[in-house]
Structure 1
C-alpha cells in the first residue's frame, strides 16, 4: 500500500499528529509514516533512521537487525528503547516491558522519564494489559504536565490514557489536567 493512502480501516480521523512525515494511530497508539519523503528529510542525520523507517512502516522483523546493530555500536537509552519497541511489535512484549523497566530504573528523575513511561504504556497496550497501560500513561501525563512539556506531548499522553482507560473499562474520570 502506498504511503499516505488511507484504507477503509484507517483514516486521518484515527491519526494523532506526530512530526514531519508521521503521525500516531489513535487505535493502536503506534507511530505510522504518512509521507516517507518528508520523514526521511526530517531524519536525514539520525543514525536510527533505518530502524524508525522499518518499524513505523510496520516491518519490525526488518528493523530488528538494524536496532541490534545500533545497541551494539552505542548502548544509549534511545537505542535500547528502539530495540524494545521492535521487540514489542514482534510480539515479544515481556522483553519490551522488562527493558523499559530497566531504563526507568536507570533514568528515573531525568528528562527521559516521561517518554520512557509513555513507551512502557505502549508496550503494555500492545500486549493487551490496558490497566497497566493506563497507569503508565497516567504517570507519563503527570510528568509531562509537571515539567511544562510541549502541548503535543501532553495531548499524546492524554489521548493514550483515555484510549487505554476505555479499553480497560475505566472511563476517563480522573484524567490529569
Structure 2
C-alpha cells in the first residue's frame, strides 16, 4: 500500500541523508520525495510517498522518524483531507502540423507550453497524480523525449470537511 507521510525538520545539512537512510535500512521504497523550505527558513517540509506492506510498518517508520534529532513533527496524511500537487515537465516530439492538436490537448488539462523547438514542445503540468498521469498517457503516442517530475507535495486542508477545489468552480449568472 502507498502512504503519504509529511515531516517538518530542521533546515540543516545532512538531514535529508539521515532520513532517507532510515527508509533504506528498513528496505522501504520511497516512490517520491519532495523537500523545501517552509514559511520559516529554519524549517523544511518533507513529503514522502512510500510503499509499505502494512499499517504496522507505517507506524514503525513514524516512530523511527520521530526519534531523529532534527525531526520536529511527522504525520501520515494518507487518509486525511489534504491538498496534494505534483509538477511535471514533458518534452514531446511534434511536427509543425501536430502542434495545434497538442496545444489544444494541453489547454484542456490547464497545462501550459513553456518551450517550443523545431521538432519538440515542452509542457508544464501541475495537479494531482491522476491528472499528471492522464496527460502523460495522452502525450505518449507523440513520443516523449524527456520527462521530469517533482513527486507529490502535500499538507492538510484548512478544514476537516471536504473543501471545494477552486479550479473546479463554475460561476452561474
Same fold (TM over 0.5): no
TM-score, L = length of structure 2: 0.25
Q: Which has the higher helix share?
A: 1
Max Rg structure: 2
Which is richer in strand? 2
Of structures 1 and 2, the one with the larger relative CO (CA 8 A, separation 6+) is 2
